[in-house]
Structure 1
Amino acid sequence: MTPSPEDSPPLIGEDDRNTAVQRLQEAYAEGLVSHEELDERLHQVLTATAHSELVSALASLPEENPGTTSTIAAAGGWIQRRGAWRVPRFLKVGSAYGRVRLDLSRAIIEHPVVDIELQLGTGGARITVPRDAVVDVEGLHTGWKDLRYKARRPSRPGAPKVRISGSMGFGRLKIRHAWR
């Protein structure tokens, strides 16, 4: 009898694999695993086809640092980040009436995937991503106005992925790639 799709283990994505590799590298840098153990676990992660294989490769490591979520909120006015600011793994941005400007082009991005959750009322938002970034807007719900984003051609391997989710009321979100 052929197993049904519900019975088969869920496949892992490249984001999950990249996150597991990063956790192993951090554990090695902190002295939690030896060089030989790192090689074995990396091989296990890179050849894994199911999520359970990733879990077993990371089993004895300490839990991931929960301090990688930041929230920026304002009732009105501007919310702006630009220059060499450190981008957290999860960024929540909330504004009832103001405008949001996030420039990630010169920001310090230490994670292969950055999740930005927008909760905006009437204000618009503009996000500038690095030139080679991959942008995913599947989780974003727009109310009044449509999203303005023109996807770039495929980026280089290892380019950061920026996932944008949340909801926007009456404002428009414009996403653009940096020139450099």
Structure 2
Amino acid sequence: MTPLEDDREAAVVRLREAYAEGHISHEEMDRRLDQALAAASGDDLAQAVASLPAASEGGTATIGAAAGRIRRRGAWRVPRVLKVESAYGNVHLDLSRAVLEQPLVDIELQLGTGRAKIIVPRDAIVEADEVRSGYKDIRYQPRQPSRPGGPRIRITGVMGFGRLTIRHAWR
């Protein structure tokens, strides 16, 4: 990749992140994405991301609940490492429309009792060999990526009593 292509890719990630965080509207994101993808120079790219907040660092985030349901769906930002902790309750993570900040996402599960369902993007490559379950086996049917270079989702951790189900999004 050339430096301009690297900068273009970073600009696209920043625009998607700004949309997911609510800093720009869907129409504004579309307009700026068109501008970034058509940019012929670094100055053109700078105009596409002008007035956006600074890019965030991948980092680690923890979501948890002692009891109850944990649910994430829609256009939400997924950090490089996502820790999910729940003593009692169900977990539902839908990554199909989420903004993945990095090409590799680690999801660390620490679940007591309850089910966990993770929906990954259609072209994602999933690794779930490091999940230990005290009750039921993991339900996951691997599929061939529809295009090369899809995100890699690595799921690790411990599930007490419950089942982990992983499936690919339909679109």
Alignment partners' CA distance in 1, 2:111 and 2:146: 29
Give the ranges of 4+ consecutive aligned residues of structure 1 lying more than 3 Å apart after TM superposition.
none
Alignment partners' CA distance in 1, 2:104 and 2:145: 16
Alignment partners' CA distance in 1, 2:137 and 2:98: 27
Alignment partners' CA distance in 2, 1:113 and 1:67: 10
What letter matches 1:85 in structure 2?
W
Give me the TM-score of the superposition, normalised by structure 1. 0.63
Alignment partners' CA distance in 2, 1:100 and 1:164: 14
Whether contact under 8 Å (2:58, 2:80) holds in the other structure is no
- Count of aligned pairs between the two proteins: 123
Whether contact under 8 Å (2:137, 2:163) holds in the other structure is yes
Q: Which moved more, 1:132-141 or 1:149-158?
A: 149-158
Alignment correspondent of 1:76: 67
- CA-based RMSD of the aligned residues comes to 2.3
Q: 1:88 and 2:76 equivalent?
A: no
Alignment partners' CA distance in 2, 1:92 and 1:132: 23
Q: 1:161 and 2:152 equivalent?
A: yes
What letter matches 2:119 in structure 1?
T
Q: Tell me, which stretches of 5 or more residues in structure 2 are unaligned?
A: 1-5, 12-55
- Following superposition, the deviation at residue 142 of structure 1 comes to 1.0
What letter matches 2:150 in structure 1?
A
Alignment partners' CA distance in 2, 1:113 and 1:133: 10
Give me the TM-score of the superposition, normalised by structure 2. 0.66
- Following superposition, the deviation at residue 110 of structure 1 comes to 2.0
Alignment correspondent of 1:131: 122
Higher strand share: 2
